[in-house]
Amino acid sequence: MDMETLLSYEWSMMAPEFTILIIATVLSLVDLFADKKIDRKLFGWFGAAGIGIALFFLFSQIGHEPAMILANTYRLDAFSLSFKILLLIGALLVLLMGVSYEAKGELLYRGEFYYLLMSALLGAMMMASSADLITLFVGLELLSISSYILAGTRKKSTQSNEAAMKYVINGGISSAFTLFGLSYIYGLTGSTNLADISREISNIAPENGLVLLSVAFILTFVGLAFKISTVPFQMWAPDVYQGAPIPVTVFLSVVSKTAGFVIILRVLLSVFPFAQGLEANTSLLQSMMIFISVLAGITMIAGNTVALKQRNIKRLFAYSSIAHAGYLLVPFVAFSEMMFESMWFYLAAYLLMNIGAFAVIQVMSEHSHSEDISIFAGLFYRRPWMAVMMTIFLLSLAGIPGTAGFIGKLNIFIGALFSDPSRYILAAVMMGTTVISYFYYFGVMAQMFMRPSGSAVPIRMPVGVTIAMVFCAAGTITLGLFPGVVLDFFQTQFNFAEMFY
Amino acid sequence: MLENAWLIPLFPLLSFLLLLFFGKQWKEMSSHVGIGFTGVSFLLSVIVLFTQMANGSGGAEMVWLTIGQLEFRFGVVVTPLNALMLVIVSLVSFLVHIYSKGYMHSDERLTTFYSYLGLFTFAMLALVISPNLLQLYIFWELVGVGSFLLIGFYFYKEEAKAAAKKAFIMTRIGDVGLLIGMILLFWQVGSLEFNDIFTAVGGGEVPEGLLTLIAILIFVGAVGKSGQFPLHTWLPDAMEGPTPVSALIHAATMVAAGVYLVAALFPVFEASPAAMTVVAVVGGFTAIFAATIGLVQTDIKRVLAYSTVSQLGYMMMALGAAGYVAGVFHLMTHAFFKALLFLAAGSVIHAVHNQNIEKMGGLWTKMRITGPVFLIGTLAISGVPLFSGFFSKDEILLATWYDGRYGLFIIGLVAAFFTAFYMFRLFFMVFTGEHRSEVTEVRESPRSMTIPMVVLAFLAAFSGYINTPWFGTFLGDWLAGDSEFLPFEHHEGPVWVMMAASLIAFAGIGLAYLIYYKKSLQRDFLSSHMPATYTLVFNKYFIDEFYQYTVEYAARAVGYLGSFIEKYIVEVIVAAVSGVTRAAGSLGSKLQSGQVQTYGAIAFIGLAILVFLVVWTGGYL
Amino acid sequence: MADLFTYQNSYLVVVIFLALGILLPIVALSLGRLLRPNKPTEQKRTTYESGIDPFQDARVQFNARYYIFALMFVIFDVETIFLYPWAVAYEELGVFALIEMLIFVVMLLIGLIYAWKKKVLRWI
């Protein structure tokens, strides 16, 4: 590759990534050389500004023709753009929460939190716009390794250390699975480039490579299931979510999970729809859907039933997060024409309601130095606004009409029923487990409205987390009442057919 | 005006929001805010009602959400049924708002109470003007939330907390049915607009078997909301809420939403005879079942609660017997007299600070307004001629008779007998006889409480005259006349049905009179003049004893059987469902050992199983 | 099926190496056990430590700094390994490779600065 081709690339396509990269580097250097007395919270605002700039670049790219640079390894298309918007907004809100996070002397190196978050975000963004197995994997690992460290940021807390350790070990196993699966794909097609693979793969004669390809599918999926915490790779989530600092927990449950779905869609949809399936005239992806649907069903059941027993609010939300990952697999299994739309919308709704709920949890658990569900007792009589916002988030998570979560579930539902073949069993499981989920969400609500409050100490609400909370509440309601606005924008601006080569 | 009907639910919503955020500053003022806003709603509802009568149905809609090629709409529609419901709901809510000012005046969370009332009224009003099932479902759930909050209003009482939870969960079970039914309907019709659904059903686009399933599933939702057997158990427990709430939600409006749902979707039900039978039988069974339980209750509100369940069953039975007008008519009259009874019961509780009817008595002379209005309500619900309940009950009995459901007709008569009996038992025990209360100085309630009761008493007495065999069937013509989907024919009933209904009512009242009023007199008489009038007394006594041993004990036995079924069968099923869920939960948490090697092993085993299955199903083993 | 067999056959070599790797120590040690005479004394049973009398427990805790130092060493070792072939083939690779290499070196430089400021390089 010579200088000329290098200069001929449209580098502005990567402007959002460059912005984040520069911010991360600058922050890490400034953190090293700046005086100890300088409040590291400034970093958070600086990082937030950086994400804002990246978002600006991203929005200016909407409507861009699908294009690839760097020897077809970096791809700009509707898929990457739309999901990167979610990743950036999610990270921005996490950053705002992080600025307000106080952990009584356990957060020794505050600066690290901000630039590791940035590098994790960079990894997630790379996952969204890579068109090559190698860069995808590098993005995945960048996200993972940053997250491992982030989980252990509360250095003096044994729980946080335990969380980091468990996360590393399980992450290592999952990476091994994924790589093993990807190696099969490479072995069968002779290329790591997704565009090449999707061309090559249809040439594989069924009697030769089919079994290997099916095994590759399962290996890759199970490996990536770690990131989205679905069965059989969901066990780490409760322990890690509980141990990690709250902003990191949110990051793992929202941004990291979104990135996980992004990579699953990107890899599996670029490769397997083009391979011959087990039966004639079907694609391998269709043949494999039955396994994914079973996994999705077990995930929903496991997440929602185990959540019933939890008293620790972070653990409860970990199981809830597992359940939501199960819901999110339903449109993937249904594979209707509305798949992208419903997954994107649900992820957006989940982002808003989950970050919002965690913002309230953060305020309350810092106030009472506990994570038991009883910290919410009588919240309505102490901070009515905050209780109302938490109610909005809980209702949305439970999928009650009027909120974003309901529209998201409705989308998924209709997709599952109107697809061909229709996935009514999965839809039924989703409905049943949603009903189960009412119990624990309303348990929290009952605490807020129907218990007397224990103390009368005023609850402190730092500015960052309040902004996040209000934004999420407004977003949840807006998406719930006027989903047409977002869905119309989505349908007119993003054409997902671009994703395929 | 009709396209602006959306303003009606907006005012209670405004009241809810204002009180939620500024209530703390306003304190006492908040009741005025709530009353004012609901009053405006009521006025608008009345205007809408008259506009509808003058100009026919109308509404307004806009596209809310597009998913794929499917469109969801949002808007309002005013049909005769909707307009009637609007007036009933806003009127009862308005009166309850006024009543609560007196009833709740000493409660420090008065503003919270009024804000919840606003939320509920908003949801209920929005529910009845929904032009499609999705919108209806949204507010259906919101109504449930409002009910949950209000039942658990006294959250420091363990029973109230448990009751709120139970109500929420039991109705949720029904809602799942409704949701599935909705989805199936949507699947078949491709739209949730009432008009599209009726057109499709009328055109025979939905297969017969599936239509029956859909109708029954939707009915399951109505069963949950309206406290029909076997999902009725939450309703008596819901009496833990404040009494005005019981009057508004658990007597007049929300519980009637199930009946409203069946009425609103009547063409769907009508297209499936099997579903109609299910509705009628469940309704009839509930009517008699709840009435028998009502015979042995001693808590004043619980008697009324079982009576509500029973009367709702009556309405369902009417709808199932194709008596559309009868069901809706009874829904209306019941809303008035049952709200009246609850408010009057609240007034009594307010006076004696007790809910046990064994510890009341002789209140007639002390409560000069509550007593007569309670009597009016009791007469109306018992179906005494010339009161509102008489005409609507008569209409129901006629409907079952003409539908050829003679079994249900008899059940209806028996239930009417029980109703008259236990209602007058209640009346006699509370208002006549000796004063048994621990509170010695019983005072009449303040004017803010008595005025709503008087208004309702007026309605309970005279609202029946809008649909009578004597002065014309104005309501029936109006309700069904406008719609192409509702065939309506009024049955010119044989006179003997009306006579039988009246006789049954009087028989029940007479029995109650003999047992609970006369007997206490006799006992006095017996103890003082034992030898002289022995034979005569013996004979009288013999009649009483006869009734005691045959009728009342049999009724008691049936009542206990009902409680037994409820306690050991219904609750066991509920417990089994939740038990299985819990067991799955604990299995999951056992695996969650905290050992990282277990987690890895599970992932690995999962992978191995999957790979094995893939290879196996692919035919490579 | 032909491709599949070729594919699987290429793993045969791995299997052979695996088997050899496992067999070699087992065979060697058990053969030695069978052949040698066995007459242990107190002196013979002591741990061999380069002729010095053994002291302390064999399992001692090492300072964690050893580990971090080793890590640093490995990182820069890898850097040289990357730099060397690039330097050799510089003519063919051209400007793009130069830029790539510069990015790589700058990244490691930031890492070094980080380690330095975090006092990893200081030995107590």
B616 touches A: beta carbon within 8 Å = no
Average pLDDT over chain C reads: 83
Q: Report the pLDDT averaged over residues B483-497.
A: 63
| Contact call for residues A300 and A430 (beta carbons, < 8 A) | yes
Residues of chain A above pLDDT 90, percent = 41
Q: Which of A179-188, B410-419, B571-580 has the highest mean pLDDT?
A: A179-188
CA distance A93 to chain B (A): 26
Read off the CATH number of the domain in which C11 is found. Answer: 1.20.58.1610
Nearest alpha carbon to residue A356 among A252, A438, A467: A467
Number of domains comprising chain C: 1
Give the per-residue pLDDT at B400.
81
Alpha-carbon gap: A208 to the closest alpha carbon of chain C (Å): 5
Q: Which helix (H) or strand (E) holds B73?
A: strand B70-78
Neighboring chains of B (3 or more beta-carbon pairs < 8 A): A
Cα(B67)–Cα(A356) distance, integer angstroms: 26
Per-residue pLDDT of A65-77, as tens digits, reads: 888 887 788 888 8
pLDDT tens profile A482-493: 888 888 888 888
The pLDDT assigned to B95 comes to 86
Using an 8 Å CB-CB cutoff, list chain A residues near B149: 449
Q: How confident is the model at residue B547 (pLDDT cuts 50, 70, 90)?
A: very low
Q: What is the pLDDT of residue A137?
A: 93
Q: To probe the interface with A, which of B581, B595, B613, B616 has the most A CB atoms within 10 Å?
A: B581
d(CA B360, CA B369): 17
User: What residues of A are in contact with residue C117 (Cβ under 8 Å)?
Assistant: 32-33
Check residue B1 and give its pLDDT. Answer: 63
Question: Contact A208/C2, CB-based, under 8 Å?
Answer: yes
Are C95 and A212 in contact (CB < 8 Å)?
no
**CA nearest to A403, candidates A468, A482, A347, A332:** A482
Task: Tell whether C13 is covered by a domain.
Answer: yes
Ramachandran region, residue B445 (left: φ > 0; alpha: ψ -120 to 50; beta: rest): beta
The structure's pTM equals: 0.77
Check residue B284 and give its pLDDT: 86
Q: Do C2 and A25 touch (CB under 8 A)?
A: no
Would you call C4 and A3 a contact, using CB atoms and an 8 Å cutoff?
Answer: no
Q: Is B90 exposed, middle or buried (0-12, 13-18, 19+ CB in 10 A)?
A: buried
* Chain C CB within 8 Å of residue A35 CB: no
Whether residue C123 lies inside any domain: the answer is no
The larger pLDDT score, comparing residue B583 to residue B537, is at B583
Q: What is the ipTM of this complex?
A: 0.87
Q: Is B610 on the interface with A (CB under 8 A)?
A: yes
Please report residues of C whose CB lies closer than 8 A to that of A209: 3-4
**What is the mean pLDDT of the segment spanning B265-287?**
85
A106 confidence band (pLDDT: 50, 70, 90): low
Q: How many CB atoms lie within 10 A of CB B249?
A: 28
Q: Does B183 touch chain A (CB under 8 A)?
A: yes
Return the higher-pLDDT residue of B383 and C110: C110
**Interchain CB distance below 8 Å, B589 and A306:** yes
With bands split at pLDDT 50, 70 and 90, how would you rate the model's confidence at B224? confident
Chain B stretch 556-595, residues whose beta carbon is closer than 8 A to a beta carbon of chain A: 581-582, 584-586, 588-589, 591-592, 594
Average pLDDT estimate for A303-319: 88
The confidence band for B570, taking pLDDT boundaries of 50, 70 and 90, is: low
C110 vs A: CB within 8 A? yes
User: Which residues on chain A are in Cβ contact (under 8 Å) with B613?
Assistant: 291
Structure confidence at residue A473 (pLDDT):
94
Q: What is the pLDDT of residue B529?
A: 44
Query: A205-239, pLDDT tens digit by residue?
Result: 766 678 888 888 999 999 999 999 998 888 899 99
- In a domain, residue C122? The reply is no
Q: Could you list the residue range(s) of the whole structural domain that residue C36 is in?
A: 2-117
Residue A456, pLDDT above cutoff 80: no
pLDDT at A480 over 50: yes
Q: Do C3 and A211 touch (CB under 8 A)?
A: no
- How many A-C residue pairs are in contact by the CB < 8 A criterion? 33
State pLDDT tens for residues B450-461: 888 888 888 887
Cβ–Cβ below 8 Å for B606 and A232: yes
Percent of chain A scored above 70 by pLDDT?
A: 97
CA atoms within a 13 Å half-sphere pointing along the CA-CB vector of C124: 6
Whether B611 sits inside 8 A of A215 (CB atoms) is yes
Q: Do A214 and B615 touch (CB under 8 A)?
A: yes
Query: In chain A, where are the structural domains located?
Result: 9-499
> Predicted confidence band at B181 (pLDDT cuts at 50, 70, 90)?
confident
CA atoms within 13 A on the CB side of B607: 27
Using pLDDT thresholds of 50, 70 and 90, give the confidence band for residue A21.
very high
CB atoms B585 and A305 under 8 Å = yes
Nearest to A413 among B183, B586, B620 (CB): B183
**Chain A residues inside the 8 Å CB shell of C120:** none
Asked if C94 and A3 come within 8 Å (Cβ–Cβ), the reply is yes
Instruction: Give the model's pLDDT for residue B267.
Output: 83
Percent of residues, chain C, with pLDDT higher than 70: 94
Token pair recorded at residue B467: 């649909």
Q: Which of B589, B596, B606 sits opposite A231 (nearest CB)?
A: B606
What is the pLDDT confidence band of residue A257, given thresholds at 50, 70 and 90? very high
Q: pLDDT-based confidence at C50, cuts 50/70/90?
A: confident
Cα–Cα distance for residue pair A400/B139, rounded to 1 Å: 10
What is the reported pLDDT for B574? 67
Q: Give, in order, the Cα–Cα distances in Å from B76 to each of A402, A419, A465, B5.
A: 16, 31, 39, 7
Chain A touched by C13 (CB under 8 Å): no
User: Measured between CB atoms, which of B589, B600, B620 is closest to A170?
Assistant: B600
What pLDDT shows up at residue B322? 78
Of these ranges, A120-124, B262-266, B408-412, B482-486, the one predicted with the greatest mean pLDDT is A120-124
d(CA B206, CA B201): 6
Taking the Cβ of residue B596 and every Cβ of chain A, the question of whether any pair is shorter than 8 Å is answered with yes
Substitution target from A218, A425, A437, A489 for chain B, most B beta carbons within 10 A: A218
pLDDT tens-digit readout, B290-323: 777 777 677 788 888 888 888 888 888 888 887 7
Q: Which of A480, A291, A328, A310 is nearest to A391 (CA)?
A: A480
Residue in B582, B603, B619 closest to A233 by CB: B603
* Across C53-74, average pLDDT: 79
Question: Is-contact B420 B507, C-beta < 8 A?
Answer: yes
- At B47, the pLDDT band (50, 70, 90 cuts) reads confident
| pLDDT tens-place string over residues B111-170 | 888 888 888 888 888 888 888 888 888 888 888 888 888 888 887 777 787 778 777 777
Residues A284-293: tens digit of each pLDDT? 888 888 889 9
Angstrom distance (rounded) from CA A304 to CA A293: 17
pLDDT at position B487 over 60 = no
Q: Residue B171 is encoded by which pair of tokens?
A: 């109705």
B511 and B422 in contact (C-beta within 8 Å)?
no
- Average per-residue pLDDT for chain B: 77
**For residue C68, what are the CA distances in angstroms to A29, A163, B166, C121?**
20, 22, 59, 9
Integer-rounded Cα radius of gyration of chain B: 26
- Mean pLDDT estimate for chain A: 87
**What stretches of A335-461 show up as alpha helix (H) in DSSP?**
339-368, 379-382, 384-398, 404-418, 424-450
Average pLDDT score over residue span B267-294: 82
| B156 in contact with chain A, both atoms CB, cutoff 8 A | yes
* Residue A187 touches chain C, beta carbons under 8 Å: yes
Q: Which of A258-262, A451-455, C62-66 has the highest mean pLDDT?
A: A258-262
- Give me the mean pLDDT over the B43-56 stretch: 82
Quick count: other Cβ atoms within 10 Å of Cβ B448? 17
Q: What is the pLDDT of residue A474?
A: 94
Average pLDDT for residues B376-396, to the nearest whole number? 82
